[in-house]
Structure 1
Amino acid sequence: MIPKKQKGFNGEPKSHQEIDRSQSPLKQRTNNNNYQQQPPQQQQKQQPQQPQQKKQQQKQQQKQQPQQPQQPQQPQQQKQQLQQPQQPQQYFQPRQTQNAWGKQNNSIPLEEQFQEVKPITQPQTPETTTTTTTTTTTTTNTTNTNLLVPRISRRDMVKDSDIENVAIVTAKSRTVQGKQISLISNFFPIVISDRKSLEFRIDFNPPQVTFDKRRKLIRELLSLNNISKEFYFYDGDSILYSPINININSQSIDGVQIFIRKVKEVNHRDKSSVNSQFFNIITKNNMRKMGFSLIGRNYYSPINKIKFEDYLLEVWKGFSTSVVSTESGTMLLADTSSKVVRSETVLDRIKYLRYDKDRCFDEIINSIVLTRYNNKTYRISNISWSSGVNDKMDGTTTFLQYYQRNYPNHKITDYRQPLLKSEVKFRGIKQTIFLIPELTFLTGLSDHMRKNFKLMAELAKHSNFDPSQRYQTLSNFISDINNNPKVSKSLEPWGITYQPALKVDGYVLSAPKNLPNDNKRQLNNIKWAFVVDRDEYERTRDCQTNLYNFINETGMSQPTTICYTDPRDKRPIQYSNIMENAIKTHGIQFFLMLIPQNQPEIYKEIKRKSLVQFKVLTQCIFPRTFYKGRSVTNKLKQQVIAKLGYAPWGLNQQIFNGVIPKKTMIIGIDVGHNSDMRGHSVVGFVATIDDKFQKYFSRSFVQKRPGKEIIDSLEEATKEAMSKYFSFNNCLPELVIVYRDGVGDGMLDLVNRSEIAAMKKGFAETPSSWGIKPKLMYVIVKKNTNARLFTADPIGNPPAGTLVDSKITHPNWYDFFLVSQVTNNGSVNPTHYHVLLDEQKMPADLFQLFTFQMCHLYFNFEKSVRVPATCQFAHKMAFLIGRTVFADAAPQLSDKLFFL
């Protein structure tokens, strides 16, 4: 449906038939200034100066009333537009037209958005010449056949593996005692011979925007020069690799001049400069030859899918692969993967919801869909109710005609359906594309499906492999790569083979013991209320018995018991009215509320009003859960104690002696993108303010830009945390350790340059009278890595505390893998820690031990968790604010863990 390209916007698999991309339903909704600064006269011509109020009214009218299709610009108009004076070094200019909705700017297929413009200051009249090629004869417009017009450059981005000025390991010697353990990883060494490999730069004139057209041209060019496909790998854009020298400077195919320039000779055996792009191109080629299709970032086999007819679901099995540089060399990091695809289309779901716009928005927006005609996934950003399949894409071709011509096997039968919007990035520029609901399939599980225990158990059988199954599946996968005839033939000229899984040595760190705290005296002074359905309270003795047990366990005083006056009234507002009256009448500070199941609006109403308006704490629980006895009562007690600002347990402070300074602050940061706030990300920021890591300061921030991962308000949050710490201790911390979760791939450089600078600025702006500014350690936490670790004999999960800091770590980073939790089901995921900044110069093994200890202070779970407690607290906060509250909690609650 859209042009193919690499990196984040991958093209269709090779197995799909190449189609004509001259008209694609890709529509751009970006401002022209994203491409270039246009001359003032042209800007005025495109959009006259108007008052801001009038502009907003016009935009509102466009949304409410779709305009009639208008004719596209005539060739003469386009020619005049090309002949306007251009600024120097300006190579491309978006062509202007009007689409079916009357919106101007770049609302035409991407392939046709750019017309070649000479980098000159005076207009020239192009002369028409006829160019005869080896396959066809076409007419092209050109003024200089030797002029090489570059394509739009990709967005400048520093790869995670290439960032500079990061921390290095201060000490490799081990002073911390730990049991040594032999492990097997899912890192598979890539062996490459000493044969040379050459990198070439590819350019086209005129530029070829579509992925398909570029690959076709290169395939024809090299075939004409007797170079078989086994002797080159092309990325579909501007890079080509070959083990032989290609002596072609330029050649014309189908009226397109192709330029090939040798860039360098690549040494793939150099650990410090592994060409991950080269190996990832090879991996993609291997997977395609083995019958796998790229869907999202992983490869799946549509043939080996498992159907669940009763639930309209399919499970596609496959693999995630990436090529990484490690201390041991270049590795293929491979893991099993499964994808849940629903058999119902988005149109089926819209009809089920009876075209209710609010319900459709809640269920469909931000969901991931799959288009099976090209096996691509997209995130839905909006539904265009005023658009339809008979709207014209470019003034001539409708969506219906496009799909009938290019995908005849995928029929469109409903001509009244709306269109789906999805925001994608093409060469670093955000584009809006339109999808057909009837041809898109929902992926993942709905909330209703997740509550079906039978379904979840069935799905777990096909997705949660135990360690032995996972290891055997991965070993067979590598064997299949080496033994597949097609793959072997393509790899033979390069001398590339894959070895079995890499064995590594690890250490098992000792777990600290939790020391219970007695908080009964403090909790006895809390004014609280127990809210319950009157019939529920009087009907069963279990309710009163468990309430008594809860009071006895916590040491809290007798509550004000509030029973519904009308138990049939289940409206959410009833609960907020109860809270408001109790606060005014009794000064209630905390509510324990039994609420009905399967009514999420009640929970949302309680949390929104209590945290934002009433500034009190609440604990909601289902009656059926509350009646389960002392096991639940004990967990409820711990949760309530932590929520009220106290610690159910702590750690022996002696274990920190000689490890970190006594005055140390731990900060956890996470960014949640799974919010219901129209795609806006929510930042959770949680910091310790005492020496025992039992008192906390918390803040949440709603990011201004949807989906943004870099934190805007980090300087402000840092200054507030420093102020809270000073108020509690009358001094500043000596050391601040930040555990930063939620950093996506490719974001390390931005975090390194932006967030660390913001925190240091926050330190610097604290009053000098508060003392010496703290040192900073900034650590990236990745809990959702594809890395796996197995015990060697027998194959199983490594125990909690397993640490690996060699062989599979990055050759130039201060990083390590840590298994901090016990896993009974499936295969354990080690958490990856990467120290970006280390001003303390703490020995690495001491910091690794300290990190493991911090995983034992999450008060919602008595055992250790996957990440340090502050990190998990930040995650819980971002999730609650983004999915339920939709606003920052009242500042008065910043010293409470209200999100537990």
Structure 2
Amino acid sequence: MASGGFYGRGGRGRSILDALKQPARKPGQQEEQAQAQAAAPITPQSSDATPKPPAAPITFGRGGGLLAMMQKAQPSSQPGALAETTAPKPAPAMPFTMPIGRGLGGMKELLQKAAQGRGMPAPSQVSSRPSTSGSSTSAQPPAEPVPSSSRAPPHPSAAGAAPSPAPPSEEMSRLAIYERREAVHRSGSEGKVMPFSANHIRVKCKNSGVFQYDVKFDPVIDSKGMRIGMLNEHKAVIGQTKAFDGRLLFLPIRLPQTETVLHSQRKTDGINVTITIRLTTVVDPTQCAHLYNIVFRRIMSILDMCQVGRYYYNPHTPSQVPQHKLEVWPGYISSIKEQEGGLLLNLDASHRVLRTETVLDVMCQYRKNYNISIRDAEQPLLINRPRKKREPGEREPKIEMICLVPELCYMTGLTDEMRSDFRLMKDIAVHTRVTPMQRIIAMKKFIRSINTNDEARKQLENWGLELETETIRIEGRLLKEEKIKMRQKDFMAGPEADFGRDVTRSEVLVAVDLRNWIVLYTKKDTPRATEYIQMMKRVCPQMGIQIQEPLRRDLKDDRTETFVRNLRESVNPRVQMVVVICPTSRDDRYSAIKKFCCVECPVPSQVIISKTIGNPNKLRSVTQKIALQMNCKLGGELWAVEIPLKDLMIVGIDVYHDATKGKRSIAGFVASTNRTCTRWFSRVHFQLPHEELVNGLKTSLLSALRTYHEINHKLPEKIIVYRDGVGDGQLKVVSEHEVKQLATCFKHFPNYEPKLSVVVVQKRINTRLFYQTGPDRIDNPPPGSVMDHTITRRDWYDFFLVSQHVRQGTVSPTHYIVVHDGSSMKPDHMQRLAYKMTHMYYNWPGTVRVPAPCQYAHKLAYLVGQSIHKEPSELLSDRLFFL
């Protein structure tokens, strides 16, 4: 378990914290401890007392809860039935009880909105039925919920249907399985059909539904642990399998009565407590993904997997890298979601690199640097204070202190020095870069380990779940190769979408002659600088760029002040380009040079590390790439692809979080300004700390539209926005907040209503696509592979695109989610445009993972956030000065 940069081991590979928590996993022990802690007397209240409704919607934890993800309003009780407004800490997993805490607590927010307009009975309409005969359950006759007449048919992945309705009472006629929206299906048809598979496994749902109950305690019990303990006393009635967050109870079976009354005794003071369990909703099993993910976390523990960070790894079969004091733990990333093709388990192989040196070893190494000795007999302990949210009735959250022994704690993660070691990273890659076939084998091994483990298999069976043994097989499409257009000839990008050799042998689309430029270097690098200049004179004319002798400045030393002072003395308005050859890579020197050239005295600049041009055998190819980059920074255009759409503007947006200046966020905005999308306008905006969404979009887009009009003498008719850096939880905010900002810009121009589409680009995803080359053989999909059905989102218009070719490991597709579709483009056109844009990043003569405007916006935001920390001069806004 990771905590503060280290992890603990008890015995072999077991976290210290895990070992300490093991006793808490025994059945009933957690509830007994919670009851013992709740010693303060609680004033009894009448059974008809109704808690006050919360002032704002209630959500638990980061995930927003199980049904908060659905947002489709199931029928439930009215908002006034909810009492708790704080997020309780998740209780440890138990063999048969799964406290929901952060995962399912978000259902309360949904319940506040569910009853409105759905015909659900309010709590005042349902009479409290305490038992008068002293029995543990009420004598109310059973009744089945009545499905809604407008309900969609059961999902194909569900094995069973809803129970047949019995003659309902007036109360039960209002109870229904909620009405579902139709799935969003937007698929294309162009391209070659190819057999694909993905790291998704179908999940079969055998139960007709998950039954949701509202649980009330009379008198009111404030302690969540005590409520869980009291409910656990009645397993003979409610069964062994349940999920309970203190108020909402979810069962895989339906209780005989609609309202069940149970009786318990509070152990702290002996007061009798009446527990009323009322059926409120029958949830479609395919929409309980968050609940099933909690089940899978329990299965990971059953399989003796160790949680490090967010994911689970196997500490018993590590791969050793002894020469670097490292070991690699194999693991899995799992997530169940309802996709367009039903309930699917997204399963991917993962690896965690851990250091074999302990915290004590690192502490003892201080002696070498500071001459400080650490005595083992007086070994200090590491203090860990985990964050705990406030419980109901607490003024301040309780602070729990955990003391860890450094001798038993091992360091996690890699240092910057390790990451810069090419040999070390290469040795690690042997274990972490797995082929598609190796991923498939790992997934099958995981499924087999679940099916052969009785306890793990029982966890799934209790909720009516069953996993298929094979990964899903689907058909995808391969888009056509793109034609690359240069000044004098065109050529195809090729099956691997790598056209670097053809680009360097052809004249660029638009060349800017280099006539007035400066080269700065130290005396030590004089020979390398001379060879570089001579090579520039040879390769530039072949690419259509005319070049003249530069002004050379020989520096006496390599101090940052010396570089900046010479720049101030040399740069004037006639200088086109500044080339600085640095002897070593130093962030402070690079930042000072870029800040001068981008803010103080705006001029395109090129910084070259001396080692880069030090190998005579590679000097020609390196110089060609530098020359192309310099031509872009001067305002030139390298190549283009055919874009049939006219009057089109393409926008790219990304956000970088600055580590300095109070952790501000820098939003990079880039927009095309010509028909071929080869010229770009750029802007940056600084935002509040931790703010991800862009609030300065309006100003940036207005400036881009004015620039577009100045160049083309008209405004664009279509605007496609590619938005990077957005997680799943922000999709609705982007579709509503940012789209509205963009739309308000159009009112500043008379009679202007362009067609706008906003596409979220996600590259940090766990989905993998595999090309089925044979019955039992798979490989990486080629560039241009598209998947737009089955594994896509059920409620969004989206698709996956593989745009780049990889030679090692498994290729990662990019996920495109169209959160606003106002351009009326066909899915084929939207997919093809995204693929075309991956060819247009001028820093690489090939395809990249994301569209070029997204990569440009990332480079701009990164440069400002990492080096400049100020807004660049507007004089550079029409050039790619940030490459």
Instruction: Measure, in 2, the Cα distance between the counterparts of 1:241 and 1:537.
Output: 77
Q: 1:579 aligns with which of 567, 572, 592?
A: 567
Structure 1 residue 339: deviation in Å? 2.2
What TM-score comes out, normalization by structure 2 length? 0.72
Residue 269 to residue 169, structure 1, CA distance change in 2 (3 Å): closer
AA at the equivalent of 1:243 = I
Q: 1:679 aligns with which of 651, 654, 663?
A: 663
Instruction: Measure, in 2, the Cα distance between the counterparts of 1:575 and 1:421.
Output: 47
Residue 786 to residue 689, structure 1, CA distance change in 2 (3 Å): same
Instruction: Measure, in 1, the Cα distance between the counterparts of 2:404 and 2:568.
Output: 45
1:788 paired residue number: 768
2:204 paired residue number: 191
Instruction: Measure, in 1, the Cα distance between the counterparts of 2:275 and 2:601.
Output: 68
Instruction: Measure, in 1, the Cα distance between the counterparts of 2:513 and 2:770.
Output: 48
Residue 291 to residue 720, structure 1, CA distance change in 2 (3 Å): same
2:459 paired residue number: 490
2:603 paired residue number: 616
1:752 paired residue number: 735
Residue 173 to residue 851, structure 1, CA distance change in 2 (3 Å): closer
SS at match of 2:21: coil
Q: Deviations over 1:499-556 (max 9, x none)?
A: 1211010010012121124569852255211122233224786445424335545624
Alignment of 1:191-270 (within 5 A): 191-201=204-214, 205-208=220-223, 213=225, 218=228, 221-223=231-233, 225-226=235-236, 230-234=240-244, 238-245=248-255, 247=260, 249=262, 251-255=264-268, 261-269=277-285
Q: 1:17 aligns with which of 18, 21, 42?
A: 21
Q: 2:624 aligns with which of 629, 634, 653?
A: 634
The size of the alignment, in residue pairs, is 707
Structure 1 residue 423: deviation in Å? 8.5
Q: Does the 8 Å contact 2:35/2:267 carry over to 1?
A: yes
Residue 526 to residue 763, structure 1, CA distance change in 2 (3 Å): farther
Residue 421 to residue 681, structure 1, CA distance change in 2 (3 Å): farther
Instruction: Measure, in 1, the Cα distance between the counterparts of 2:657 and 2:715.
Output: 33
AA at the equivalent of 1:672 = Y
Q: Deviations over 1:391-414 (max 9, x none)?
A: xxxxxxxxxxxxxxxxxxx99934
Instruction: Measure, in 2, the Cα distance between the counterparts of 1:521 and 1:142.
Output: 82
AA at the equivalent of 1:645 = G
1:643 paired residue number: 633
Structure 1 residue 183: deviation in Å? 0.7
571-580 or 619-628, larger mean C-alpha shift: 619-628
Structure 1 residue 672: deviation in Å? 2.4
Q: 2:480 aligns with which of 487, 502, 510?
A: 510
SS at match of 1:795: strand
| Alignment pair present for 1:774 and 2:778 | no
874-883 or 792-801, larger mean C-alpha shift: 874-883
1:391 paired residue number: none
| Alignment pair present for 1:863 and 2:846 | yes
What TM-score comes out, normalization by structure 1 length? 0.70
Q: 2:523 aligns with which of 521, 534, 539?
A: 534
SS at match of 2:443: helix
| Alignment pair present for 1:664 and 2:648 | yes
SS at match of 2:567: helix
Instruction: Measure, in 2, the Cα distance between the counterparts of 1:16 and 1:229.
Output: 29
| Alignment pair present for 1:451 and 2:356 | no
Instruction: Measure, in 2, the Cα distance between the counterparts of 1:463 and 1:863.
Output: 25
Structure 1 residue 751: deviation in Å? 1.1
1:301 paired residue number: 314
Q: Does the 8 Å contact 2:511/2:631 carry over to 1?
A: no
Q: 2:298 aligns with which of 247, 260, 285?
A: 285
Structure 1 residue 689: deviation in Å? 1.0
Q: Does the 8 Å contact 1:787/1:830 carry over to 2?
A: yes
AA at the equivalent of 1:767 = F
Instruction: Measure, in 2, the Cα distance between the counterparts of 1:686 and 1:250.
Output: 65
Instruction: Measure, in 2, the Cα distance between the counterparts of 1:752 and 1:262.
Output: 38
AA at the equivalent of 2:766 = N
AA at the equivalent of 2:288 = N
Alignment of 1:335-734 (within 5 A): 335-343=348-356, 413-414=379-380, 443-499=412-468, 500-517=470-487, 518=507, 523-524=512-513, 526-538=515-527, 542-553=531-542, 555-566=545-556, 569-584=557-572, 587-627=574-614, 628-652=618-642, 656-657=643-644, 660=645, 662-673=646-657, 675-706=659-690, 708-734=691-717
Identity %: 28
Q: Deviations over 1:97-143 (max 9, x none)?
A: xxxxxxxxxxxxxxxxxxxxxxxxxxxxxxxxxx9999899451425
1:154 paired residue number: 59
Residue 495 to residue 726, structure 1, CA distance change in 2 (3 Å): same
Residue 684 to residue 180, structure 1, CA distance change in 2 (3 Å): same
Q: Deviations over 1:414-454 (max 9, x none)?
A: 48x9x899989889999999998986866433332122111
Instruction: Measure, in 2, the Cα distance between the counterparts of 1:229 and 1:15.
Output: 29
Residue 199 to residue 334, structure 1, CA distance change in 2 (3 Å): same
Q: Deviations over 1:470-501 (max 9, x none)?
A: 11111211222222111122223333110121
Q: Does the 8 Å contact 1:133/1:254 carry over to 2?
A: no
AA at the equivalent of 2:755 = K
Instruction: Measure, in 1, the Cα distance between the counterparts of 2:596 and 2:358.
Output: 37
Instruction: Measure, in 1, the Cα distance between the counterparts of 2:804 and 2:461.
Output: 43
1:69 paired residue number: none
Q: Which runs of 5+ in 2 are unaligned?
A: 4-14, 26-31, 74-179, 371-375, 488-506
SS at match of 1:578: helix
327-336 or 597-606, larger mean C-alpha shift: 597-606
Instruction: Measure, in 1, the Cα distance between the counterparts of 2:2 and 2:813.
Output: 37
